[in-house]
């Protein structure tokens, strides 16, 4: 016999898929999620939630890697052209995107917090018929932008959760905070949200990611381990241009400094204590064939299994960048663009989620490694240092292509499974809390 949650899931599924596709069709990258934020607020309005956005939601100065003013202005104009109200945009201007929806039942009970990230990636989405969003007509409307990590689905699951909480409002106790976080990609948004205090008194923090592991959908990992700490750095070399035929000796070559740094960065020695990574993702240099390049810009990231290992990679990277600048007599400017720390989820969620979902058709596995970086770790750390319990689940799905690939996609049943797990876990924790009192 179907229980109440199962019935809710049947009702919500078409809505969940519709919302996911709507978001997929209109991807916005980190700190430019203006339309996304507005549309989420519209969906949440009138359901009993108090909504917070703009600088009421995140601390401006704690954001990392905010795009330049020019770009944000363009994006704001795009959002206005799309039709979002000016007064709403005013509150978000300058990259203050994302929102919190808070439902306070006024009855004593636990404090739940949930996080869903909402940003897309600067990737041109595949348009061949083998790609489901292209075939089924919900491919990205914005050229060069794509939801290639599944955050479209995360936003939809967040809305689904809000629907459930609104529907069950009369039976709930405690407080429910749903965080729709901007700019997860590059580890840029979470810290600014945490700084606002949303997680300071959370008893339970639930979050998760769709995909990651190519397993049948309906498989959900109750917790995650092995978040890699990561640092994102931009390095700018400044030299001096000169005519390469007439007076090459007058130039100071920024391109050579950057090229040399690239080779040496990839040669940083591995560490005995665990996994490390380094990647020079982009390198742009020079202005013309017969000109000594006076400028080079590199986008670099390092990762490590622990904060210490990432620190080791970063220290070595900075040393190599400085040495390369010195070698070619050019100036170096370093900009820190984003950061994720390593953290562990509470592994006891394995047992909690398993009990919570025992009566369902979900296939709960205790935990899966993530092997990637996620700035949710800032949230997990804050909750745990304050005595709360935190987890990051994985809503697995068969994956036709990896994350951040132009053909990335997942089965929408993975979203249903994720939402059901979050609801059942919440319901279970609430009942456990009741019997304790």
User: Per rule CB under 5 A, is residue 99 in the interface with Zn ion?
Assistant: no
Whose Cβ is closer to Zn ion: residue 149's or residue 350's?
Answer: 149
CB of 417 to Zn ion, least distance (A): 17
Question: How far out from the chain centre does Cα 27 lie?
Answer: 13
Q: Is 151 annotated as a binding residue?
A: yes
CB of 313 to Zn ion, least distance (A): 22
Applying the rule CB under 5 A, the residues between 43 and 82 that interact with Zn ion are none
Backbone angles phi, psi at 320, to 5 degrees: -65, -40
Question: How far out from the chain centre does Cα 12 lie?
Answer: 24
Nearest residue relative to Zn ion (C-beta)? 149
Whose Cβ is closer to Zn ion: residue 152's or residue 381's?
Answer: 152
CB of 211 to Zn ion, least distance (A): 8
The H or E element that residue 161 is part of is helix 151-168
Proportion of the chain in helix, strand, coil states, percent, rounded to 5: 40, 25, 40
Q: Please, are residues 373 and 303 in contact by the beta-carbon 8 Å criterion?
A: yes
At 331, is the secondary structure helix, strand, or coil? strand
**Of 293, 189, 277, residue with least CA distance to 236:** 293
Q: Count Cβ atoms below 10 Å from residue 24 Cβ, excluding itself.
A: 26
CB of 357 to Zn ion, least distance (A): 23
Angstrom CA distances, 123 to 127, 209, 272, stand at 12, 19, 35
* Integer Rg of the chain from CA: 23
Residue of the chain from 149, 156, 352, 396 that contacts Zn ion (CB under 5 A):
149
Q: Please, are residues 28 and 140 in contact by the beta-carbon 8 Å criterion?
A: no
Sign of the CA dihedral with 377 first, then 383, 384, and 388 last: negative
**Separation of alpha carbons 424 and 300, rounded Å:** 41
Whose Cβ is closer to Zn ion: residue 254's or residue 417's?
Answer: 417
CB of 209 to Zn ion, least distance (A): 6
Q: Is 404 annotated as a binding residue?
A: yes
CB of 340 to Zn ion, least distance (A): 11
CB of 93 to Zn ion, least distance (A): 26
Whose Cβ is closer to Zn ion: residue 149's or residue 393's?
Answer: 149
**Separation of alpha carbons 290 and 155, rounded Å:** 50
Q: Is 149 annotated as a binding residue?
A: yes
Whose Cβ is closer to Zn ion: residue 131's or residue 151's?
Answer: 151
Q: Partners of 236 in the beta sheet?
A: 297, 333
Mask 109-148, x = binds Zn ion (CB under 5 A)? ----------------------------------------
Whose Cβ is closer to Zn ion: residue 187's or residue 218's?
Answer: 187
Whose Cβ is closer to Zn ion: residue 115's or residue 389's?
Answer: 115
CB of 215 to Zn ion, least distance (A): 17
Number of residues in contact with Zn ion under rule CB under 5 A = 1
Whose Cβ is closer to Zn ion: residue 172's or residue 206's?
Answer: 206
Q: Is 6 annotated as a binding residue?
A: no
Q: Which residues contact 107 (CB under 8 A, 6 or more apart)?
A: 172, 173, 174
Q: Is 284 annotated as a binding residue?
A: no
Strands (E) located in 359-432: 363-369, 389-395
Q: Partners of 295 in the beta sheet?
A: 238
Strands (E) located in 19-58: 50-53
Q: Please, are residues 344 and 379 in contact by the beta-carbon 8 Å criterion?
A: no
The DSSP bridge pattern shows strands 204-210 and 219-225 to be unpaired
Whose Cβ is closer to Zn ion: residue 154's or residue 382's?
Answer: 154
Contact residues for Zn ion (CB under 5 A)? 149
Annotation: binding site: 149, 151, 185, 209, 404
Annotation: binding site for Mn(2+): 149, 151, 185, 209, 404
């Amino acid at each position: 016999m179907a229980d109440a949650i199962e019935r809710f899931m049947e009702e919500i599924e078409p809505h969940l898929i519709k919302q996911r596709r709507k978001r997929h069709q209109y991807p916005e990258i980190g700190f430019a999620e203006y339309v996304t934020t507005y549309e989420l607020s519209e969906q949440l309005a009138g359901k009993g939630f108090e909504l917070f956005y703009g600088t009421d939601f995140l601390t401006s100065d704690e954001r990392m890697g905010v795009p330049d003013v020019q770009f944000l202005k363009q994006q704001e104009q795009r959002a206005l052209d799309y039709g979002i109200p000016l007064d709403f945009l005013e509150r978000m201007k300058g990259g203050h995107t994302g929102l919190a929806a808070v439902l306070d039942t006024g009855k004593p009970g636990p404090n739940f917090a949930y996080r869903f990230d909402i940003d897309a990636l600067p990737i041109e989405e595949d348009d061949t018929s083998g790609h489901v969003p292209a075939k089924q007509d919900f491919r990205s409307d914005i050229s060069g932008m794509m939801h290639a990590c599944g955050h479209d689905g995360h936003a939809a699951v967040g809305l689904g959760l809000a629907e459930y909480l609104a529907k069950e409002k009369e039976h709930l106790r405690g407080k429910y905070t749903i965080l729709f976080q901007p700019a997860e990609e590059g580890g840029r948004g979470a810290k600014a949200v945490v700084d606002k205090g949303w997680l300071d008194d959370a008893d339970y923090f639930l979050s998760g990611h769709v995909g990651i592991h190519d397993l049948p959908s309906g498989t959900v990992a109750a917790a995650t381990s092995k978040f890699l700490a990561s640092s994102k750095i931009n390095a700018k070399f400044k030299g001096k241009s000169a005519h390469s035929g007439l007076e090459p000796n007058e130039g100071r070559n920024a391109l050579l400094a950057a090229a040399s740094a690239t080779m040496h960065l990839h040669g940083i020695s591995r560490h005995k204590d665990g996994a490390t990574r380094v990647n020079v993702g982009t390198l742009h240099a020079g202005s013309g064939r017969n000109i000594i390049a006076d400028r080079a810009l590199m986008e670099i990231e390092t990762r490590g299994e622990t904060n210490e290992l990432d620190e080791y990679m970063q220290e070595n990277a900075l040393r190599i960048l400085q040495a390369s600048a010195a070698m070619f007599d050019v100036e170096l400017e370093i900009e820190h663009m984003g950061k994720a720390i390593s953290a562990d989820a509470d592994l006891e969620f394995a047992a909690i989620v398993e009990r919570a979902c025992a009566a369902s058709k979900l296939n709960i596995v205790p935990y899966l490694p993530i092997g990637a970086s996620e700035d949710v770790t800032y949230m997990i750390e804050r909750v745990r240092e304050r005595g709360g319990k935190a987890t990051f689940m994985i809503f697995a799905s068969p994956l036709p292509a990896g994350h951040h690939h132009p053909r990335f996609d997942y089965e929408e049943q993975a979203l249903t499974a994720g939402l059901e797990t979050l609801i059942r876990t919440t319901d279970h924790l609430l009942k456990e809390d009741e019997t304790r009192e």
